[in-house]
Amino acid sequence: MASDYKIGPAEGEIIPNIGGDVYENGEWTDFDLHSMFDRSWSEGSNGKWIYIQVLDTDCPYCYNEAEDMSDRYNQYSGKADFLSVVVELSINGHKSSKEEIMAFKDQTDFGTDLNDGDGCNSGRNNCASRNGEVHNWQYVDDLNGDSMQSWDVGG
């Protein structure tokens, strides 16, 4: 990125980058948020928003929000590109993984519905049991917390 851009959360500044592995269409590839920017865009011209969700697949609130995210995607995907950044919050008794990210996004079998610590929603549910539809947008692996730190996001 050119050095004349100011990084930050204020109007006119470029948001901090998110990089790493992204899961989409059944495979993991390299990702760089800034590559999604339309640098030819100017005020007054058409463009797309970027909707960024930060979630933990074991967070009960995030688990319950999955259906709302499906609804938002269905309503706004023509106006915004969606991106879910998966982090690992300090929730006792759980350890996230790329396999859990894939199962949460794709609503596939991972864990049990026995509240035994295995699966999504702090191990309370099989990831296939979450409400909503399969999420047809990119999921970024930020389990190490790099993006959370640069964005100063806590949970």
The strand pairing partners of 53, in sequence order, are 84
* CA–CA dist 24, 70 (Å, integer): 16
Can you give the chain as a three-state secondary structure string? CCCCCCECCCCCCECCCCEEEEEECCEEEEEEHHHHCCCCCCCCCCCCEEEEEEECCCCHHHHHHHHHHHHHHHHHCCCEEEEEEECCCCCCCCCCCHHHHHHHHHCCCCECCCCCCCEECCCCECHHHCCCCCCCCEEEECCCCHHHHHHCCCC
Q: Is 47 within 8 Å of 92 (Cβ atoms)?
A: no
Alpha-carbon distance 43 to 33, whole Å?
A: 20
Its pTM stands at: 0.89
The residue with tokens 């920017």 is 37
- pLDDT tens, residue by residue, 13-38: 888 899 999 999 999 999 999 999 88
Q: Are 136 and 72 in contact (CB under 8 A)?
A: no
Is 49 within 8 Å of 16 (Cβ atoms)? no
Q: What are the domain boundaries of the chain?
A: 48-144
Per-residue pLDDT of the chain (155 residues; tens, 9 = 90+): 445 677 777 777 888 899 999 999 999 999 999 999 888 888 888 989 999 999 999 999 999 999 999 999 999 999 999 999 999 988 776 788 999 999 999 999 999 999 888 899 988 999 999 999 999 999 999 999 888 777 776 66
Q: What is the Cα–Cα distance from 60 to 34, expressed in whole angstroms?
A: 30
